[in-house]
Amino acid sequence: MPTKLYEQKQRTLPYGKIKLLPGLFQSRAALNRSYVMSLNSRDLLQNFYVEANLYEPNNHVHEHWEPGHLGWESPACPLRGHFLGHWLSAAAKLYAATGDGEAKGKADWIVEELSRCQVQNGGEWAGSIPEKYLHWIAEGKQVWAPHYTLHKTLMGLYDMYAFAGSQKALEIIDKWSNWFYRWTEELGEEQLADVLDVETGAMMEVWADVYAATGKRQHLELMRRYTRHRLFEPLLQGEDILTNMHANTTIPEVHGAARAYEVTGERKYRDIVEAYWKSAVTDRGTYCTGSQTSGEIWSPPGELSARLGHRNQEHCVVYNMIRLADFLFRWTGESVYLDYIEQNLYNGILAQQHPKTGMITYFLPLHAGARKKWGSPTMHFWCCHGSLVQAHTIHANLAFYETDEGIIVGQYIPAELTWRSGAANIRLKQTIDSQTNWGIRNPAVDRTRRPNDLSVTLLVECDQSAEFTIKLRMPGWLSGNAVIKIGSQEISAQRDESGFVNISRVWSDGDKLQLKLPKTLTAFPLPDRPDMVAFMEGPVVLAGLCDEERELHGNINHPETLLTPDNEREWATWLTGYRTVNQDRGIRFIPLYEIEEQAYTVYFPVKN
């Protein structure tokens, strides 16, 4: 078995140790769970049944058969079957995170059916598409991303093993790996490189995962064979190979390098990941949402204004870049990666999920007068349907991380952690304070206007006192110094070079840490058009409710000359809207993640 060959100072906590508490993220996760469980198991398997000749004339397939799932799951689509792997990953994490027995039971049955398909296919192949698709790409024929489709099934099976304890799922992968090993062995070096130029998904990552589980040299060799040298080598040389390259082809391939580093300890793989981040994010710049891309490709560094359109920000890119940021945070401990995750959570993962139906918008348009195009539950099954169902199963595990010294508060999300510090059993409950009074006068908390800070409470519950450190992320959007109290005592603490305030002490049952993070309205310009700005409150992008480009007048260094709070209070709830001031025509603004069917504009030209 492979051993851990690098020091991991920041660690993800096991699923199930953190649960979401009531709030925005819990409600969105619940919407997603409803969608996941609404899908019919046989319809999810329809293309695997067809490929294995296991359809049932009296039940599922006959001369008048109409598939239950269409779009990219239609039997005529070359990507058919890709969604089931995403679904299995989501179901496995639902079970691991919440003990959802219904999700596990449904997923276990599907794994058994995939095993039945594998037997019918001869004992190795378990795909929803035929083997000849891979032979065709090796011959240079055009086929739409067969490796992408197959990887999703392998990923889902691995996650069923890793998060739901399914040995059957690992057995299916192990048997299937024999086919991939023989096939790749027959290809010459250049021929294999040509094959890898046709979107491979995260094949390298899944073989690294499987190698970590089995220790088999065959799986390690498959990981190495799926290394995409034509991408990785230019990155290591500092070349800009990404401009106009399909973004979501490359990110999962770099996930493969990330996992290769974790399972082998070979530094070159980490260097690839860091070079990719530098090229894709640091040197390239982002939109106000935190993401990038137009028409699924990377834009030129710093040149975003000409690419505002109706196909900005593919959801798969958002989700996969969040995963990449998570790798880099765990390796480095730098809070900048958590800031990136936060920005993309609010303005990508939440903004691209319908607040009421839970459905996905493939792209997030950023041109003037944009509208989100929502997918349907069973008629589209875009790639982003897959990243949707996965993305909303990870919220809890982004809230906290673990170190040898204690706990990191990664995201300010209402969540509860169960943890051990030495012999002490610890429960750490994070809540967001609405900072409002409801018929009771209290000068310490009363607000006459909408609060201008995020107020977080961390409650410690433990069966005995314990000494450990709580590391508090100081977000990049802070507009002033954070205020930290334990009980009634204010704590003076300095932000460290990684972006955290560290509170180390002996914690006792009932200790309450209160954190106020000041925020303000800011203008976020396009890197190549400093006069073209979006408006943000803290990490949240505000969308103007208008169907055309409007020129605004004011000082972008003082956004309060342009916007003022609007409809800010309803009963005991502070609302989130703004409206323009000192303009010829008024515009209302709401968070981008609240937009449903309305036309909206994100970037506005501003004249002083």
Integer Rg of the chain from CA: 25
Tokens 């409206």: give the residue: 579
Q: Comparing 136-150, 245-259, 310-324, 569-583, which segment has the lowest mean pLDDT? A: 569-583
Cβ atoms of 266 and 260 closer than 8 Å: yes
pLDDT bracket for residue 66 (50, 70, 90): confident
Residue percentage of the chain with pLDDT more than 90: 91
State mean pLDDT over 163-171.
Answer: 98
Helix (H) or strand (E) holding 182: helix 167-185
For residue 91, the tally of other CB atoms under 10 A from its CB is: 30
Specify the pLDDT at position 446: 59
Quick check: 110 pLDDT over 70?
A: yes
The Cα–Cα gap between 603 and 530 comes to 11
The two three-digit tokens of residue 258, written as one number: 């990330």
**Sign (positive or negative) of CA dihedral 419, 509, 24, 350:** negative
pLDDT bracket for residue 493 (50, 70, 90): confident
pLDDT bracket for residue 399 (50, 70, 90): very high
- Which whole-number Å values give the CA distances from 473 to 98, 319, 453, in the listed order? 26, 21, 15
Q: Provide DSSP, 202-267.
A: THHHHHHHHHHHH--HHHHHHHHHT--HHHHHHHHTT----BTSBHHHHHHHHHHHHHHHHHH--H
Residue percentage of the chain with pLDDT more than 70: 95
Non-local (6+) Cβ contacts of 595 within 8 A are 351, 372, 543
For residue 194, the tally of other CB atoms under 10 A from its CB is: 16
Tokens 């060799």: give the residue: 221
Non-local (6+) Cβ contacts of 299 within 8 A are 243, 284, 292, 293, 307
pLDDT bracket for residue 437 (50, 70, 90): low
Backbone angles phi, psi at 167, to 5 degrees: -65, -35
Helix (H) or strand (E) holding 217: helix 217-225
The Cα–Cα gap between 532 and 538 comes to 19
Residue 558: closest CA among 519, 604, 606, 522: 522
Specify the pLDDT at position 434: 78
Mean pLDDT, the chain, rounded, equals 95
State mean pLDDT over 519-533.
Answer: 96
The two three-digit tokens of residue 94, written as one number: 């639902």
Tokens 């897959």: give the residue: 386
Cβ atoms of 408 and 13 closer than 8 Å: no
State mean pLDDT over 431-439.
Answer: 75
Quick check: 5 pLDDT over 90?
A: no
Specify the pLDDT at position 1: 45
Tokens 């409470």: give the residue: 457
Quick check: 8 pLDDT over 90?
A: no
Backbone angles phi, psi at 559, to 5 degrees: -60, -20
Per-residue pLDDT tens digits for 592-605: 999 999 999 999 99
Q: Give the strands of the sheet with 400-402, arranged side by side.
A: 11-12, 400-402, 406-409, 466-473, 500-507
Q: Parallel, antiparallel, or unpaired: how do β-strands 521-526 and 529-537 relate?
A: antiparallel
**SS3 label, residue 513:** strand
Report residue 571 CA to chain centroid gap.
34
The Cα–Cα gap between 277 and 328 comes to 9
Quick check: 325 pLDDT over 90?
A: yes
Enumerate the CATH 2.60.40 domain ranges in the chain, comma separated.
403-476+480-518
Q: Thinking of the domain 403-476+480-518, which architecture would CATH place it in?
A: Sandwich (2.60)
Tokens 């018929």: give the residue: 439
**SS3 label, residue 556:** coil
Residue type, 20: L
Specify the pLDDT at position 439: 56
Non-local (6+) Cβ contacts of 375 within 8 A are 359, 360, 361, 362, 381, 382, 384, 385
Quick check: 2 pLDDT over 90?
A: no
